[in-house]
Amino acid sequence: MTVAPQDLKPRALVSGASFNRGDRVFNRVITLAAFTALFVLAGITVFLGYQFIPVVQEQGLFFFTGSAWDPAAGRYGIWAMVYGSILLSVIALIVAVPASLLLSIFMVFLAPRRVSAVLTNLVDLMAAIPSIILGLWGFWVFQQVAADWSELLNRYFGWIPLFQNSSGNFTGTPFIAGLVLAVMMIPITTSVTREVMARTPPELINAAESLGCSLYSMLRHVALPFGRGGLIGGVMLGLGRALGETVAVFFVIKLVFDVNLFRILESEGGSVASMIVAKFGEANEQELQVLLAAGFVLFVGTLIVNLIANAIVGRTGRLSS
């Protein structure tokens, strides 16, 4: 009681919750529920990993580097599918990234406010379209158009190996599947890139304008460098979704267990996710295990892409989902 003030040490402040039994239970329940995401992620890792390990032991490195689906011989290699996923994503990126950037430039810097608001809603509506509907549209509507484009490309640029086609069949190609993926990616990516661009500080834009900057140099020297992190993150988020997309790809690609390196107009390709759905129906026990192992590979791949995306987006400030 008579301690001199300078001797006083800060007291431990007891958290309010520890006194009330209801609060203690509440805290525990909430904390437990909050870790559901961790439990699920850990569960996926453990249970799919548990199937993954024996497959790798059995198939060896061939599982990653080989390309085969041979239930009779018990040989399975998913490299063609993994590579296919990457190829489709690259095609989708090449189309979707410029398209998303241009769309957001139009919405943020060019369009009148009302048009921009309508477009924002349309883009969000596009993002809400289920992928099965994209697959249906891709198969019955878009495939015809894109096959025509492919034919034109092949006719005039067929001397470039990229646009070669040996079968005369222009459907079921990586080109078409990549474009369908791009249609899926564009709204996801645009909603992020639009927000990033809209956050360019107006004083920077004003400064650029007062210096007599053209729109082009304002974008190049102010808006794009300022939002670079967010733009890359948005693209990666779209990429994560594209890598994991299943049914939309399933309908517009001809699954072939042979690596199609770059001939995007050739009617053969694949992706890990669409392979899982394609093979699941008639899978025997061993095939099922291989599918689960492939799912593990897909899970790890998309997880890495998403973590990088979130790290980049997170570093440049939080964005609402």
Partner 1 sequence: MSSTPPATPAATPASTPTAAGGSPAMQSRHLSVWFGKRKVLEDVNISFPANTCTALIGPSGCGKSTYIRTLNRLHELIPGAGLAGDVLHNGRDIYARDVDPVTVRLAIGMVFQKPNPFPSMTIRGNVLSGLKLSGMKRPNHDEIVEDTLRKAGLWNEVKDRLSHAAGELSGGQAQRLVIARALAVQPQVLLMDEPCSALDPASTLKIEETIRELAESITIIIVTHNMQQATRVSDYTAFFLAAENEPGIVVEQGATTEIFSNPQDPRTLDYVNGRFG
Partner 2 sequence: MTAHAETILPPRPPAPQQSAGRPWARRGPGFRLAVLLGTILPPVPVIAALLYTDWPPVTIFVAIYLPLQLIAACAAAISQRGTRAAGDAVIIVLAIGATLLAVIVLGSILSTIAIRGYQAMSVAFLTQNTLYISPSTPLGYGGVGAAVLGTFIIVALATVITVPIGIATAVYVTEVRGRAVPYVRFFVQAMSGVPSVVAGLFILVVLILSGALAYSALAGALAYSILMLPTVARTAEEVLKLVPEELRTGALALGSTRARVVGQVVLPAARTGIVTATILGIARVVGETAPLLLTSLSNDRTIINPVGNPIASLPVFIFDKVSLPFPDAVARAWGAALVLMVIVAILFTAARLLSARRFAKS
Interface residues toward partner 1, by CB under 8 A: 1, 3, 5, 8-11, 13-16, 19-20
DSSP 8-state code for residue 70: E
Q: Which of 53, 61, 94, 133 binds partner 2 (CB under 8 A)?
A: 133
Backbone angle region of 66, left / alpha / beta, with phi > 0 → left and psi within -120 to 50 → alpha: beta
Task: Give the shortest CB-20-to-partner 1 separation in angstroms.
Answer: 6
DSSP type of residue 76 = E
| In the complex, least distance from residue 12 CB atom to partner 2, rounded to whole angstroms | 16
- Is residue 271 within 8 A of residue 81, CB to CB? The reply is yes
Quick one: which of 61, 94, 102, 117 contacts partner 2 (CB under 8 A)? 102
From partner 2, partner 1, none, interface partner of 13 (C-beta below 5 to 8 A by class)? partner 1
3-state secondary structure of 77: strand
Tokens of 302: 């998309």
Of these, 55, 78, 81, 292, which contacts partner 2 (CB under 8 A)?
292
Beta-strand ranges (E) seen in 170-244 are none
Q: Which is nearer to partner 2, 5 or 16 (CB)?
A: 16
Token representation of residue 14: 């007891």
Which pair of tokens denotes residue 2?
A: 């008579």
Q: Count of residues binding partner 2 (CB under 8 A)?
A: 93
Structure tokens at 48: 């799919």
Contact stretch for partner 2 (CB under 8 A) within 73-81, 101-109, 163-171, 192-200: 101-109
Rounded to whole angstroms, the Cα distance separating 149 from 134 reads 19
**How many beta carbons lie within 10 A of that of residue 106, not counting itself?**
14
Transcribe 112-180 into DSSP letters: -HHHHHHHHHHHHHHHHS-HHHHHHHIIIIIHHHHHHHHHHHHHHHTTSGGG--SSS--SS-HHHHHHH
Pick the binder of partner 2 from 277, 286, 315, 317 (CB under 8 A).
277
Residue 57 contact partner, candidates partner 2, partner 1, none, CB within 5 to 8 A by sort of partner: none
Task: Record the tokens describing residue 190, joined without a space.
Answer: 């645009």
Cβ 1 to partner 2 shortest distance, Å: 28
- Does residue 310 belong to the site contacting partner 2 (CB under 8 A)? yes
Within positions 12 to 41, which residues make up the interface with partner 2, using CB under 8 A?
Answer: 16-17, 20, 22-23, 25-27, 29-31, 33-38, 40-41
Return the number of the residue (122 or 261) whose C-beta is nearest partner 2. 122
Binding of partner 2 by 206 (CB under 8 A): no
Looking at beta carbons only, is 10 or 202 nearer to partner 1?
A: 10
Q: Which residue, 87 or 97, has its beta carbon nearer to partner 2?
A: 97
What does 262 bind: partner 2, partner 1, none (CB cut-off 5 to 8 Å by kind)? none
**Which amino acid makes up residue 56?**
V
